[in-house]
Amino acid sequence: MWQQEQQTDNSIDGILAEHQLDLWAQEDQAHVQNLSHITEIIMRGESWNNVQMLLPLLAQLSHDQRWLAWVAPPKLLPKAQLKAAGFDLNKIILLKPDAQHDTMSLAHQALKSGTCHAVISWFGALADDQLNDLAQAAELGNSRAFLIRHQ
């Protein structure tokens, strides 16, 4: 587990990343999919600037033969900033929800299709069945899901 803490008060502000499997380690595995294809990143605090800390990791994900899909980011970063962080802009696809496709369905399809090696999605809280659906889609598409949510 990795987190950044502010020294000025007792509140936690920054990023907390946990491998989703740890959350279900004590549950009955018959009810939970293998979640090894899922990494959940919990961003604490309101600041979008915390994403800056993730840019080197995310940039590495853009250097693969398959697409890196971004699903429903709350804010778009300038292309110049992404390029400066080391992103291959030719390997990134942005998927935006609309009236026919919500964040969950877009992430599910991108993971399952096999055309994306990694899918980064911005969600609120997800139910166990939703996590299981994403895990199954990632396994089918041989993809990795990175779920980013704010608390």
Residue at 62 is within a domain: yes
User: Does position 11 have pLDDT exceeding 70, yes or no?
Assistant: no
Number of domains in the chain: 1
For 102, the domain range is: 13-24+35-150
Residue 116 maps to which CATH number? 3.40.50.300
6 in a domain, yes or no?
A: no
User: Comparing C-alpha atoms, which of 109, 108, 107, 64 is closest to residue 87?
Assistant: 64
Higher pLDDT among residues 31 and 96, named by residue: 96
**What is the residue-averaged pLDDT of the chain?**
79
Rounded distance, CA 77 to CA 74, Å?
A: 10
pLDDT tens per residue, range 16-44: 444 444 444 444 444 445 678 899 888 77
- Asked whether the beta carbons of 41 and 15 are under 8 A apart, the reply is yes
Using one digit for the tens of pLDDT, what is the confidence trace for 100-127?
Answer: 999 999 999 999 999 999 999 988 788 9
Residue 105 within any structural domain of the chain: yes
Q: Per the domain annotation, does 7 fall within a domain? A: no
Choose between 77 and 66: higher pLDDT: 66
Distance separating alpha carbons of residues 71 and 107, to the nearest angstrom = 6
